[in-house]
Amino acid sequence: MTLNIRNATLEDLEDITYLEAESFSAAEADTKEAFAERLQLIADSFLVIEEAGELLGYVNGPVVEQAYITDNLFQTVEANPLEGGNQCILGLSVSAKAKGRGLSLLLIEAFEQQAQQKHRESVSLTCHEELIHFYEKMGYINHGRSESTLGGAEWYNLVKPLALV
């Protein structure tokens, strides 16, 4: 089967919400309403991966001025500038049945390429400590603990300057 990466649409909302609930705790998971807003305002930085019409994963996030993700970005976003800024990854999720196939890597690579084409300065994300090594293998630099308290968890800032993509 052929994998297809494309920009998400509102038609993907139910599948995206399901994958989010499958991947994150209830305290950390984004709401259906937050995804709907992102699909309307930042569809240009919201990618999905599918196979035979089945949505297997997604990556999304806004473009912002600051280098790091702040908790308020999980509640509301603004339309992305056409060029420049820092591309954030607010969420990356792959279906449990599709894990181990390298889909996260494919999504991140496509996301980085898209950001580079729009002259973004960096790609920034937060993750739990156990995922730091995963992102470091892709060239992300650990900038230490994040100020984020999303879901009452401890998060780390990881940044990849796009000159390294």
pTM: 0.89
Q: What is d(CA 22, CA 115) in angstroms, rounded to the nearest whole number? A: 27
Strand order in the sheet with 91-94: 3-7, 46-51, 54-60, 91-94
Count of all residues that appear for the chain in the document: 165
Tell me the domains of the chain and their CATH numbers.
Answer: 3-164 (3.40.630.30)
pLDDT digits (tens, 9 = 90+) for 10-33: 999 999 999 999 988 778 778 899
pLDDT digits (tens, 9 = 90+) for 95-117: 999 999 999 999 999 999 999 99
